[in-house]
């Protein structure tokens, strides 16, 4: 498929050509990277809220009086719970390279941290010398309203999350271009991270000056924008919520809510941080929450997750064919619980998005109307997530003085649940939308791709070995995306596997993905998003392991070329961690297994080449398989001291051997008579290169027959 290009005429006859595919790929990667630190906010937000609740005497009584052990414990917990909110810029600066750097992400994180701190030191130095020139009173204490902030104990411009993201993006740009630059030997100390940081050091000088020049004006503009949004009242809440919801299919909704919830769009530091910081004040005041913090109306966008999603699920269930209602309930119940409790809505939304896009538009309209209606009734708060956030950050700590507000919220919310149900039911029946339960197909089928991948994994691991469903999904998704060679890069957000492919024409239809367990597929040219659900981090891990695995193509193609090791001696098989020798049990020689032998002949566990024979003692043999797997077979513990007595080596280095071919004959009785253990150990010395290696232990193996490892 040809990439789309847009041509722009520039003054002077020059033409600028923009590749829309490349833009979309970069936006997708950036959006996914943005979510890396955001996933931490829910837990820490809950912990802050619980700390405030348990320090509130109105809720827990005298137990929470200052000076008590109970108060002291929760005070300490609260200090730790503020970590991600107090250090948000640092968190974003450190986290973005995880999703944006193309290689060596850990080093990129370190580089980003150093360069970001250097940037702030430069800003501090410039403002110390020439603050008035830039319109900044640097003598003020850092804090709200001064335009200054403390970052890593540096008084600097309050650029917040946006500045951290920009500096981190610059660092990633430098990292991707300079990390692998090969310098002459005499400059070798400056290779890799040193070169990236050195370049960033000098680049930050003009960047810091530029920010000192423009940021005070931007801060003024942000303040004006904040006042505009506050004055926009319910209309602003409606527009914001509609945009946030309608962009869900594209994955660009992060760019809508992040500046509001975690950035300066409404208030410095973001709505959630401000709400938690003032939660104790709200909890002890009978003033209207809307009067105290009207900006929190922009955090009502999660209301549809609690009240709207159940109405949609009920409508889909009600319109399903009678014989399919049970199966549909099995699909809808976990997806609805996930949305209502955790605030993750994609698993349910994508059940109808592709079969009836109009329904999603209606959903966005109703979600916006619900948020605006609640706001007009005086409801505000931290409602961006699901029921957990609603209960812990709002209802429990604030119910004493704001019970009327929350009763109104629940009544209005449940009314919209009914509206959702009747509107969706009407539209589904009127337009005969093929939502789950209304088609002639089974609701969960094995696709051809899934069947092939399952059989391939069974062939490698054995039919009696239970296959992890996440392994299967990763293999199917890889094949459906065009295979290993069609993947350019991969990242993820909370629910989506975000992939850039080389040729988007090789990506299979959405049904291939949904039948394998995905909730949907979004394609924007070469930028592809597989809607996986909350298991996406584990799926991505397995997906990337398949990309790195030398045998990945065999897994997804269903061939029989997978690496398989058979027992090299008969006997009881144990994990290598149980070998009574730290060199092996600590996996210093690699992961593997060991056998307490019942026979006295060691054979080749697979086809390969002998790379090493321990001359003189004959107690160890090394092998390399065609797949690249490297093995060490070690007979006995400390048997090198026997100086070859009781060992008869039948191969030599460089010799090609077949599976089952004799390698070493040993005298088990003699080994034990001389006081040594005769245990035979097989270590995969490069096991770290095979994250999908499966080892079998605990059984009594039969030489040349029992499978002990697959790759």
Could you tell me where the DSSP H helices lie in 377-487? Answer: 387-390, 396-431, 448-461, 469-480
Give φ, ψ of 105 to 5 degrees. -60, -35
d(CA 351, CA 575): 44
Give me the catalytic one of 212, 243, 342, 493: 493
Q: Could you please report the per-residue DSSP string of 252-274? A: TTHHHHHHHHTSTTTSTT-HHHH
454 secondary structure, DSSP code: H
Q: Are 542 and 530 in contact (CB under 8 A)?
A: no
Q: Are 191 and 173 in contact (CB under 8 A)?
A: no
d(CA 168, CA 98): 11
195 secondary structure, DSSP code: H
The token duo for 702 is 């039969």
Q: What angle do CA 375, 342, 232 make, to 5 degrees?
A: 20
Give φ, ψ of 694 to 5 degrees. -120, 120
Closest CA to 646 of 656, 635, 662: 635
> What size, in residues, is the chain?
711
d(CA 410, CA 394): 13
Q: Are 577 and 619 in contact (CB under 8 A)?
A: no
Three-state SS at 557 = helix
What b/e string do you get for 573-607 counting C-beta neighbours within 10 Å, with b at 16 or more? bbebeebebeebeebebbbbbbbbbebbbbbbbbb
Place of tokens 């070329």: 561
Look up 342 and say whether it is catalytic: no
**Residues labelled as active-site residues:** 493
């Amino acid at each position: 498929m040809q990439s789309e290009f847009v041509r722009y005429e520039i003054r002077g006859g020059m033409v600028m050509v923009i590749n829309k595919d490349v833009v979309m790929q970069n936006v997708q990667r950036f959006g996914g990277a943005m979510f890396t630190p955001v996933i931490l906010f829910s837990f820490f937000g809950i912990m802050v809220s619980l700390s405030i609740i348990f320090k509130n005497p109105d809720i827990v009584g005298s137990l929470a009086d200052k000076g008590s052990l109970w108060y002291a414990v929760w005070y300490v917990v609260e200090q730790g719970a503020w970590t991600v909110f107090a250090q948000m810029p640092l968190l974003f600066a450190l986290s973005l390279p995880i999703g944006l750097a193309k290689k060596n992400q850990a080093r990129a994180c370190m580089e980003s941290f150093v360069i970001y701190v250097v940037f702030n030191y430069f800003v501090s130095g410039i403002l110390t010398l020439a603050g008035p020139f830039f319109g900044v009173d640097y003598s003020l204490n850092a804090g709200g309203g001064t335009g200054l902030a403390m970052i890593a104990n540096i008084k600097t411009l309050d650029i917040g999350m946006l500045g951290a993201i920009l500096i981190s993006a610059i660092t990633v740009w430098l990292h991707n271009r300079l990390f692998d630059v090969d310098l002459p030997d005499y400059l070798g100390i400056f290779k890799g991270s040193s070169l990236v940081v050195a370049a960033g050091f000098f680049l930050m000088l003009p960047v810091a000056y530029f920010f000192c020049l423009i940021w005070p004006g931007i801060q003024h503009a942000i303040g004006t924008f904040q006042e505009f949004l506050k004055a926009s009242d319910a209309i602003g809440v409606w527009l914001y919520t509609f945009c946030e919801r309608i962009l869900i299919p594209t994955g660009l909704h992060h760019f809508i809510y992040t500046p509001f919830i975690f950035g300066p769009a409404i208030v410095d530091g973001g709505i959630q941080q401000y709400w938690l910081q003032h939660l104790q004040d709200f909890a002890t005041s009978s003033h209207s929450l809307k009067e105290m913090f009207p900006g929190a109306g922009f955090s009502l966008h999660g209301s549809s997750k609690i009240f709207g999603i159940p109405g949609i699920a009920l409508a889909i269930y009600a319109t399903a064919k009678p014989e399919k209602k049970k199966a549909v309930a099995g699909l809808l119940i976990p997806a609805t619980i996930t949305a209502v409790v955790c605030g993750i809505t994609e698993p349910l939304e994508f059940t109808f998005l592709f079969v009836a896009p109009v329904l999603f538009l209606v959903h966005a309209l109703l979600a916006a109307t619900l948020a605006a209606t609640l706001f007009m009734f005086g409801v505000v708060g931290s409602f961006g997530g699901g029921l957990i956030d609603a209960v812990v950050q709002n209802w429990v700590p604030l119910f004493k003085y704001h019970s009327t507000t929350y009763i109104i919220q629940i009544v209005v919310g449940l009314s919209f649940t009914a509206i959702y149900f009747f509107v969706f039911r009407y539209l589904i029946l009127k337009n005969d939308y093929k939502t789950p339960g209304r088609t002639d197909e089974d609701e969960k089928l094995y696709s051809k791709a899934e069947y092939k991948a399952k059989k391939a994994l069974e062939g490698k691991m054995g039919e009696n070995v239970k296959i992890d469903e996440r392994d299967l999904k990763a293999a199917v998704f890889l094949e459906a995306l065009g295979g290993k060679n069609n993947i350019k890069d991969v990242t993820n957000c909370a629910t989506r596997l975000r992939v850039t492919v080389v040729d988007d024409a090789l990506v299979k239809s959405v049904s291939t993905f949904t039948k394998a367990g995905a909730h949907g597929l979004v394609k924007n040219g070469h930028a592809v998003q597989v809607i996986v659900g909350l298991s996406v981090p584990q799926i991505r891990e397995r997906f990337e392991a398949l990309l790195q695995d030398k045998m990945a193509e065999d897994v997804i193609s269903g061939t029989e070329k997978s690496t398989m090791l058979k027992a090299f001696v008969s006997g009881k098989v144990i994990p290598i961690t149980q070998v009574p020798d730290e060199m092996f049990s600590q996996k210093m020689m690699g992961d593997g297994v060991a056998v307490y032998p019942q026979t006295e002949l060691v054979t080749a566990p697979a086809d390969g080449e002998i790379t090493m024979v321990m001359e003189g003692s004959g107690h160890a043999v090394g092998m390399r398989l065609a797949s690249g797997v490297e093995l060490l077979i070690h007979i006995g513990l400390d048997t090198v001291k026997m100086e070859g007595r009781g060992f008869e080596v039948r191969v030599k280095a460089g010799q090609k051997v077949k599976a089952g071919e004799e390698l070493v004959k040993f005298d088990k009785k003699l080994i034990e008579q001389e006081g040594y253990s005769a245990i035979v150990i097989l270590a995969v010395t490069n096991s770290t290169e095979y994250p999908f290696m499966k080892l079998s232990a605990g059984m009594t193996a039969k030489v040349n027959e029992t499978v002990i490892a697959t790759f």
